[in-house]
């Protein structure tokens, strides 16, 4: 239930009363509090309030980050999305999405789902120059947090060797969610020294050959892909490397039963389109086929062995925090997400940082494997 204070606020912000009632009826609005600031989170979209929107008690709204269209046939995809017009190409960094915003003199980091993340909020000052928010309190910095020490993902991009880093890829206005034009974002990021995703410059549909070479290189370098953006940010599309499709399958197969079947099917589909579009044949084709098979099967079989030997399906991850209380807040935060994690180890790393090792257990996947291993017939 949302308090009458927030109901009035949402009505004032333009959410029609009947929409508010529907959202409430299906539990799509969640009222919460983070370090003394109350907020409402949208678990579904309604009107211009996209899923993941957060409305603070101050009346400030940070809209959810929109879905980016995916192309799977690169050449035809870019023609269809961008016609013959130019578009900027940037790296698609493999991490988790955060929106960084100033509310009541606090800088807060919001996840894609609209949760205020205690870990990212604590660490964001290590990466972002807060002077930006003194000058632009009405703007939201949107970027990817990526690295091997992430609370949400088991791997990061190859060039982040330790810890985690922030990579800016969008700047939006509070309230409207409107993105600044690409060049304006590049300029502001440079002016304030905010780290950005790698930029590959302007392309258009006549340069598809060069774009394909870029994809090949990124794939060899074990990078995730590209995001293409018209200069005004009105048209955006993403394309993922064959490496990332296979690697995602490898990561997912470890927790096979915890993921929807579509997770695997989508990635196989994307890989098949890559192989078809580029006429991959012979030995190269065989190598992809083998890599896909191993990615799909090996971690899955390892998980079965683990459970058969009395263990469980789990994942271990390490993060660096400045206060041990942040680690405990992360356990509570994950509980809210319906995820069970335990602190396994705490290590003093010096320089005011603690290394925290968490274990995430997958009870449903473990149970399912155990039952099948024990001979469940169906």
Binding site for ligand ATP (CB under 6 A): 65, 67-68, 90-93, 97, 144, 169, 197, 227, 238
Strands 236-240 and 69-70: parallel
Distance CA 367, CA 362 (A): 9
Q: 3-class DSSP state for residue 38?
A: strand
- Return phi, psi of residue 364, to 5°: -70, -45
Token digits of residue 74? 């690169």
Residue 309 CB, nearest distance to ligand ATP (Å)?
A: 34
Residue 90 CB, nearest distance to ligand ATP (Å)?
A: 4
Q: 3-class DSSP state for residue 29?
A: strand
CA distances from 156 to 94, 322, 370 (A): 6, 21, 31
Distance CA 110, CA 97 (A): 8
Closer residue to ligand ATP in complex, CB, 6/166: 166
Residue 185 CB, nearest distance to ligand ATP (Å)?
A: 10
Closer residue to ligand ATP in complex, CB, 11/68: 68
Closer residue to ligand ATP in complex, CB, 263/354: 263
Token digits of residue 375? 């001979």
Residue 368 CB, nearest distance to ligand ATP (Å)?
A: 24
Residue 320 CB, nearest distance to ligand ATP (Å)?
A: 21
Contact residues for 58 (Cβ-Cβ < 8 A; gap 6+):
37, 103, 104
Closer residue to ligand ATP in complex, CB, 245/303: 245
CA torsion 206→211→212→216, rounded to 10°? Answer: 170
CA distances from 141 to 21, 68, 185, 208 (A): 31, 17, 10, 30
Residue 227 CB, nearest distance to ligand ATP (Å)?
A: 4
Q: Which residue of this chain has its Cβ atom nearest to ligand ATP in the complex?
A: 97
Closer residue to ligand ATP in complex, CB, 240/319: 240
Q: 3-class DSSP state for residue 151?
A: coil
Distance CA 338, CA 131 (A): 36
Closer residue to ligand ATP in complex, CB, 93/189: 93
Residue 259 CB, nearest distance to ligand ATP (Å)?
A: 13
Closer residue to ligand ATP in complex, CB, 179/253: 179
Closer residue to ligand ATP in complex, CB, 217/342: 217
Distance CA 319, CA 326 (A): 11
40 contacts 55 by C-beta, under 8 angstroms = yes
- Return phi, psi of residue 78, to 5°: -70, -30
Residue 22 CB, nearest distance to ligand ATP (Å)?
A: 22
Residue 32 CB, nearest distance to ligand ATP (Å)?
A: 22
Q: 3-class DSSP state for residue 71?
A: coil
Closer residue to ligand ATP in complex, CB, 61/244: 244
Triad 141, 133, 238: Cα angle to 5°: 10
């Amino acid at each position: 239930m949302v308090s009458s204070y927030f109901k009035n606020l949402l009505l004032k912000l333009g959410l029609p009363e009947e929409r508010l009632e529907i959202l409430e009826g299906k539990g799509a609005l969640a009222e919460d509090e983070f370090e003394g600031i109350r907020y409402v989170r949208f678990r579904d979209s309604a009107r211009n309030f996209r899923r993941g929107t957060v409305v603070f008690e101050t009346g400030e709204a940070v809209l959810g980050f929109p879905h980016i269209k995916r192309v799977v046939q690169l050449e035809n995809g870019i023609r269809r999305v961008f016609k013959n017009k130019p578009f900027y190409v940037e790296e698609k960094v493999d991490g988790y999405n955060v929106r960084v915003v100033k509310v009541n003199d606090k800088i807060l980091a919001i996840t894609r789902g609209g949760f205020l993340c205690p870990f990212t909020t604590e660490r964001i000052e290590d990466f972002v120059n807060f002077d930006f928010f003194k000058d632009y309190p009405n703007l939201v910095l949107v970027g990817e947090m990526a690295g091997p020490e992430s609370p949400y993902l088991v791997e990061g991009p190859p060039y982040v060797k330790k810890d985690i880093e922030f990579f800016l890829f969008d700047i939006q206005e509070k309230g409207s969610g409107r993105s600044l034009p690409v060049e304006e974002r590049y300029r502001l990021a440079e002016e304030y020294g905010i780290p950005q995703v790698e930029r590959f410059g302007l392309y258009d549909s006549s340069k598809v050959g060069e774009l394909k070479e870029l994809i090949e290189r990124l794939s060899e370098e074990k990078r995730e892909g590209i995001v293409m953006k018209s200069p005004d940010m009105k048209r955006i599309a993403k394309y993922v490397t064959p490496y990332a499709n296979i690697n995602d399958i490898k990561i997912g197969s470890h927790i096979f039963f915890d993921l929807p079947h579509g997770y695997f099917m989508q990635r196989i589909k994307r890989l098949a389109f890559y192989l078809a579009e580029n006429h991959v044949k012979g030995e190269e084709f065989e190598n992809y086929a083998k890599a896909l098979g191993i990615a799909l099967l090996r971690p899955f079989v390892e998980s079965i062995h683990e459970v058969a030997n009395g263990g469980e399906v789990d994942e271990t991850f390490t993060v660096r925090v400045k206060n041990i209380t942040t680690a405990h807040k992360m356990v509570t935060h994950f509980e809210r997400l319906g995820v069970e994690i335990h602190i396994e180890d705490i290590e003093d790393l010096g320089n005011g940082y603690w290394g925290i090792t968490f274990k995430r257990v997958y009870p449903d996947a473990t149970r399912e494997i155990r039952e099948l291993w024990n001979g469940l017939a169906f």
